[in-house]
Copies of this chain bind each other. A is one copy, B any other.
Amino acid sequence: MNTIGKIFSVTNWGESHGKAIGVVVDGCPAGLDLVEEDFDLDMARRRPGQSRLSTQRMETDKVAIASGVFEGKTTGAPISLIIYNQDQRSQDYSDMMDVFRPGHADFTYFKKYGHRDYRGGGRTSARVTAGTVAAGVIAKKILRQVMNIAIIGFVDQIGKVSYHHDFQNIRFDEIEKNLVRCPNKSIAQMMEQQILDAMRDGDSVGGVVACILQNVPAGFGGPIYGKLNADLAHAMMSINASRGVEFGSGFQSANYRGSELNDPFVCAEGEIRTLTNNCGGILGGISNGMDINFRVAFKPTSTIAHRQQTVNQQGTIVELAAGGRHDPCVVPRAVPVVEAMAAIIICDHYLRNQTSSFNL
C-alpha cells in the first residue's frame, strides 16, 4: 500500500503531526554520489510557507540520510531518509476532532480504519508528499547522470486561467522565476491573481500541472499491465488532490480522426522519430524516444476558511470554518511532487529495462 516501484522501490511513512516522516528507497544502485544537500532545492520547492501564496506552516524540511550512504556514495543498501517534523501544533486541530470536512479524506479514513487522527489530517495530509519528493531527488539524479534524462514540471492552469501550451517552445527558464511556476510570465501573473482572490475569499482554487520528460530512450515500459503510461497514471493519481491524468492529445483525442492524430514516422540523421507527438511519447505503453508529456488535474484544496455545512461523527449537522491555516492553492507546490513521482517511475523502468532482450 505504501510502497511503489518494482526494482527502484520507495516505502513512504509518517503523519502530518507525528515525530517525523520519511521514506526508505530500496534498489538504488551502489556508487551514486549523494549528500544531504542534494535534497534541499526540491524540498524547498515543495514546502509550505515558501511564498505569500501558500499556507504559513513553517517546516524547513531538511532531509537526514540515516542509512545506505557511506563516504558520500550509495552502497546498494536501502537509503532511509528522515524528515523531522518541527511545526507540530496538533492542538490547532482539536476543534475539528469529530467533524468530517467536506471533500476531505478524514471521513474515508475513519470508515476504513475506525479511528481518527485529527492532527492536521494525519496520514491523509499532503505533508506525506515530502517523502515522495525526497525519494524523487535520488531518482532524478540517477536519470540525469545515466542518460541525461530531464524531468520538468510546470503549472498549466490555475482556476480559470489556462496556459494552453502545446508542449513546444516552452520557456523552461521562466518556470522558477514566478511564484506559480508557469513558463509564461504574463499568464503567471493572472494565475497568481486567481490564488490571491481565492485566498481573500477564504476559498481555494484547483489547477493543472504539466510535465515533460526529455531524453527518455525508446523501449521503456512493457506490454499489457506494465505500460509506462499506466505506471505514470498510477503515480499521478497517488498525489493528494489529483483528479485526472492525460497523455499527449489526451481527452482531445476523441475529437480527431486517426489520419489527423497518427504521428507519422520520419527518418532524420539515421534515426527514426515521429514528426508530431500527439501520442505524448508513448506507443503501446512503451516510450518511443520522443519527449514524454502528460497533464495532471488537481481539485481545489478541500480545507477552506469559507464557512461550510457538514456533519460530525454522530451525524449531527455542524458548521465548519478552518481558521487561518488553509492553503488556497497547492498546484504550484505540486510541481515538484509530479516531477518526483515521474522520476521514481522512470527510474524503476530504466532499471527494469536492462533485461528486455539479449543477443545470445
Report A193-230 CB contacts with B as 1/0, cut-off 8 Å: 00000100101111110000000001101111111011
Contacts A112-B219, A222-B1, A238-B225; is A32 near B288 (CB within 8 Å)?
A: no
A26 touches B7 (CB 8 A): no
CB distance from A40 to the nearest CB of B (A): 19
Contacts A75-B122, A78-B2; is A108 near B288 (CB within 8 Å)?
A: yes
- CB-CB < 8 A to A258: which residues of B? 103, 198, 203-206, 299-304, 306
Q: How far is the CA of A311 from the CA of B286 in the complex (A)?
A: 19
Q: How far is the CA of A342 from the CA of B129 in the complex (A)?
A: 27
Is chain A's binding surface mostly helix, strand, loop or mixed? mixed
A358 touches B317 (CB 8 A): no
Report A235-255 CB contacts with B as 1/0, cut-off 8 Å: 111101001111111110111
B70 touches A286 (CB 8 A): no
Contacts A26-B2, A105-B286; is A20 near B66 (CB within 8 Å)?
A: yes
Q: How far is the CA of A353 from the CA of B311 in the complex (A)?
A: 26
Stretch at the interface among A50-58, A171-179, A180-188, A263-271: A263-271
Q: How far is the CA of A236 from the CA of B251 in the complex (A)?
A: 13
Report the copy number of this chain in the oligomer: 4
Q: Which of B19, B30, B223 contacts A356 (CB 8 A)?
A: B30
- CB-CB < 8 A to A250: which residues of B? 243-244, 297
Contacts A159-B255, A310-B265; is A67 near B13 (CB within 8 Å)?
A: yes
Contacts A67-B20, A104-B284, A206-B256; is A360 near B33 (CB within 8 Å)?
A: yes
A-B contact pairs, 12 of them (CB 8 A): A6-B6, A14-B78, A70-B117, A111-B218, A113-B356, A113-B357, A124-B284, A198-B258, A229-B237, A234-B234, A262-B308, A279-B299
